[in-house]
Structure 1
Amino acid sequence: MKVLLIPDKFKGSVTADGVVKALSQGILKSEPKAEIFKVMASDGGDGFLDAVQNYISLERVEVETIDPLGRPIKAYYLYNTINSTAYVELAKASGIELLSTAELNVMETSTIGTGIQIEDAIMRGAKNIIIGLGGSATNDGGTGIAQALGYRFLDAKGNELAPKGKNLSLISKISKKENPIWKGVSFTAVNDVTNPLFGKEGAAYVYAKQKGADGIQIETLDKGLRNLARTVKNEMGVDHAELPGTGAAGGTAYGLKTFFNAEFISGIEFLFKLAGIPQLLKETPVDYIITGEGKIDEQTLHGKLIKGVMDIGLQYQIPVIAVCGKLDVAADELKKKGLKEVLEIMDTSQPMQYSMDNAAKLIEKTIYNYFEQQKPA
C-alpha cells in the first residue's frame, strides 16, 4: 500500500509535522509494509515559510517592521539569491496570532507591516515576490501593503488616509509614485480560498468575525470594500472584486491583484510543484491521499487546503481521506465534493480539551482503526 500524506496543522494541538508522524505511526501499525510519502503543506497562511523551507535552501532575512496594530516588531522572510525570489508570509507581520483576543480590532489593523517586508526584499534585489496569504488579522483590502510600496489613499478633501479597515469607506482618490520600486517585479499570491472581495461570501462577512468584528462592523467593512472596489474602478479602470480568491486575508489578495497585477496560485498547487508531487503521482500508483486539519467546516469548501487536496485526488483518481479534530459540516456534503471518508478524532466521552491535548494519539488511533476495518474479515 502506498499513501501520500498532506495534512495541515491541528491548530492549538499538533503541528503539520506532528500530524504526519501520527498518521504514519497509525498506518504502519496496521500495514507495516506501507510506503508513505509526505508533503509538508500550507494553505498559504501561517506555516507557509516552514513548508517552503522543507524543499528549498533559502536565506532567512529579518526585518524591523510593525505588527497589525502598528507596534514595532521583527519579522522574517526567505530569500533565494540564485533567482532573486523572496517568500513572504503575511501572518509574520500582519497575522492574527500576533494579537491577544482582547487586542483583536479589525477596524484598526493593517497589512502595512507586510508591505515593509516586501519593500525590504525589493531593495535587496528581489524580482519575484511570492506571498503566502492567510492567518491575517486585517480587513484593509491590501491597502497597507500598497501604501508601503508607494500608493496613497485620499479622502474627498485630499487628506491621506491610514490604510485601515475603518477608512475603506472614506477612500475617494488613489495615487501612486511615478517610478515605484516594484516596477518590473512580479508578484504571486499563494491563496487557498475562493471568496470574492465583498458580499455574503466575501472577506468581511466570512472572515471578519474571527478577527474581532461585530455585526455592525462587518457590515461597515463590507461597505468599505465595495467603496474601495468602486474607487479603484473609477480611478484605475480595473475591477477584480468578483474574481474568486480576492477576498483572501481581508481582501489582501484583491489588493495584490489590483495594485501589483499579482498572479493567483493555490497553496496546494504551489507546494505540489515545489515537492515534485505531480511527477511522483505520474510514476507511482498511490492508493490513498490522507489530509486533515483541526476543524472542517463550511470554509473548507471555499478552497482551504483540504479542498485543494480533494481536487488533486479527483484529478489523479486517488481516494482522499480527511482526518479532523472536529467536523462542523455534513460528511455527506464533503463526500459529494470528492472525499472518500471523513474521520473525526474527537473523544466525545471527554471534554474538548482532552482531545486537543491528546490529538496526536487520537489521530494515530483513528487512522489505525480505519485501515483495520478495511481488512477482509
Structure 2
Amino acid sequence: MRFLLIPDKFKGSLDAKEVIQAISRGILRIYPKAKIHSVLASDGGDGFLNAVSGNLNVREIAIDTVDPLQRKRQAVYLFDSANNTAYIELAKASGLELLTKDERDVMRTSTYGTGLQIRHAIEQGATEIYLGLGGSATNDGGIGIATALGYRFLDASGKELKPMGGNLLKIATIEKRSGAMDVSGVNFYAVNDVDNPLYGRQGAAYVYAQQKGATDESTRILDEGLRNLARVVAEVLNKEAADLPGAGAAGGTAYGLNVFLDAKFISGIDFLLELAHVHQLLKACPFDYIITGEGKIDKQTLHGKLIQGVVDIGEQYKIPVIAVCGQSDIEANGPKSISVKRILEITDTSKPLQYSMDNAAQLVEDSIATYFENSKGQEGNQNDP
C-alpha cells in the first residue's frame, strides 16, 4: 500500500509534522510494509514558513517589529538570497497567536508589524515577496501594512488616523508621505486559500471578526469600515478589488495588498504543492490513499482551505482521500459534500474537549489504525506489498 500524507496542523494540539507522525504510526500498525510519503503543507496560514523552509534553501531573518497591539517584539521571515525572494507569514507579527483571549480586540489590532517586515525585506533587496495570510488578529483592510510603507490615512479634518480596524469608518482620504518606500520593482503575492470578498455577509468582518474578539456591534462597524475603505480607495486610487474572491482574507489584508501594492492572489495549497513537486510525484507513483486533516472541519473547509485543495488533487488523480480531524461540523452525509471518502473525527465526546486536545496524537494514530483494520481487504485497489 502507498499513502500520501498532506495534513494541516491541529491548532492547539499538534503541528503538521506531528500529525504526519501520528498518521504514519497508525498506518504502520496495520500495514507494516506500507510506503508512506508526506508533504509538510500549509494553506498560507500558520505554518507557512515551516512549509517553505522544508522545500527551499532559505535563511531566517529576525527583526524588531511590533505585534497586533503595537507592542515591541521580534518576528522572523525567510529570505532566498539566490532569487531575492522573501517569504513572510502574517501571523508572526500580526497573528491571533500573539494575543491572550482577553487581549483580542479587532477594533484596535493592526497589520503594521507585518508592514515593517515587508519594509525590511525590500531593504534587503527582495524583488519578490510572498505573504502567507492566515491566522491574523486583524480586520484593518491592510492599512497597517500600507502605513508602514508610506501611506497616510486621514479623517475629514485632515488628521492622520492610526491604522487599525476601528478607524476604517473614519477614513476620508489617502495620501503618500514624501519619501515613501518605492515598491515599483517588487512583485507581491498574497498567498491564501479563502475566497471571501472584502465586505458583506460573506466578507472579512462577518465571517471572521468575532473569533478575533469582535461583538455583534463591532462586527457591523468593521464591515461598514471596510465598505468605506473600498469607497475611498476607488475615489483616490481609482482601484476596485472588494469583490475579488479572497479579498477578505486576513481581515481584508489581501484587499489592501492588492490595491496598495498590486499584489496578485495565489492559492496557498497550490503554491506549496508545487514547491513540494507533488504533481510530479503523483504522476510517477501510484498511491492507494491520500490522507489529509485539520483540527476542525466545517463550512469554511468548502471555501478554499487546505483540505479542499488536497481533495481537488485526489479527484484529479482518482485517488480516494480520507480526512482526519479533531472535530467535524459536517453532517452525516457531509463527506460527499467535500468529496472525501471518510471523515475520521477523533474527539471523544464522553470526555472533556481538553482530553482530546492533550491526547490528539494517540487519538489520530488509533483512529487511522482502526479505520484501516476495519477496511483491510475491502477497500483500496492495491494489495499490501
- TM-score of the aligned structures, taking structure 1 as reference length: 0.97
Q: Secondary structure at the match of 1:208?
A: helix
Query: Residue in 2 aligned with 1:24?
Result: 24
Per-residue deviation, residues 71-108 of structure 1 (Å, max 9, x unmatched): 11111111011000001010000001111111110000
State which drifts further: 276-285 or 113-122: 276-285
Partner Cα separation in structure 2 for residue 151 and residue 81 of structure 1: 28
| Distance in 2, Cα, partners of 1:29 & 1:355 | 21
**2-structure distance, mates of 1:231, 1:313:** 43
Residue 360 in 1 paired to residue 342 in 2? no
Tell me the equivalent position of 1:155: 155
- 1:317, CA displacement in angstroms? 2.0
Q: Contact between 1:320 and 1:341, CA under 8 Å: does it hold in 2? A: yes
Query: Which residue of structure 2 aligns with residue 93 of structure 1?
Result: 93
Aligned mates of 1:329, 1:243 — CA distance in 2 = 27
Cα distance, 1:132–1:52 mapped onto 2, change above 3 Å = same
Map of 1:252 onto structure 2? 253
Letter in 1 for 2:199: F
Q: Which amino acid aligns with 1:123?
A: E
- 2:105 maps to 1:105: yes
Partners of 1:347 and 1:136 lie apart in 2 by: 29
Q: Which whole-Å CA distance do the structure 2 matches of 1:278 and 1:62 have between them?
A: 33
- Identity among equivalent positions (%) equals 60
Query: Which is worse superposed, 87-96 or 156-165?
Result: 156-165
Name the counterpart of 1:6.
Answer: 6
The answer on 1:169 being equivalent to 2:169 is: yes
Q: Distance in 2 between matches of 1:352 and 1:114?
A: 33
The two structures, once aligned, show a CA RMSD in angstroms of 1.3
Instruction: Return 5+ residue gaps in structure 1 as ranges.
Output: none
Count residues in correspondence. 377
Deviation of residue 257 (structure 1)? 1.1
Q: How do residues 255-274 of structure 1 correspond to structure 2 at under 5 angstroms?
A: 255-274=256-275
State the match for 2:349 in structure 1.
348
State the 1:348 CA deviation. Answer: 2.2
Aligned position for 2:63 = 63
Q: Which amino acid aligns with 2:129?
A: I
Equivalent positions of 1:31-42 (< 5 A) are 31-42=31-42
How big is the shift at 1:177? 4.7
> Which amino acid in 1 is paired with 2:157?
K
Cα gap change, 1:157 to 1:272, in 2 (>3 Å): same
Question: Which amino acid letter does the alignment assign opposite residue 39 of structure 2?
Answer: V
Shift in CA distance, 163/334, structure 1 to aligned 2, threshold 3 Å: farther
Deviations 1:137-170 (A, max 9, x none): 0000000001111111111222211111011011
Contact kept, 8 Å, 1:122 with 1:181, in 2: the verdict is no
Cross-structure match for 1:215 = 216
Maintained 8 Å contact 1:128/1:187:
yes
Q: Which 10-residue stretch deviates more, 146-155 or 89-98?
A: 146-155
TM-score, structure 2 as length reference = 0.95
Amino acid at match of 1:277: V
Contact conserved, 1:86 with 1:121, CA < 8 A, in 2?
yes
Structure 1 outlier segments of 4+, above 3 Å: 177-180
What is aligned with 2:193? Answer: 192
SS in 2 for 1:7: coil
Structure 2, gaps ≥5 residues long: 379-385
Matched position secondary structure for 1:62? strand
> How far does residue 273 in structure 1 lie from its aligned partner after superposition?
0.8
**Contact 1:331–1:342, Cα closer than 8 Å, also in 2:** no
Tell me how far apart the structure 2 counterparts of residues 289 and 375 of structure 1 sit (CA, whole Å).
Answer: 16
8 Å Cα contact 1:139-1:250 kept in structure 2: yes
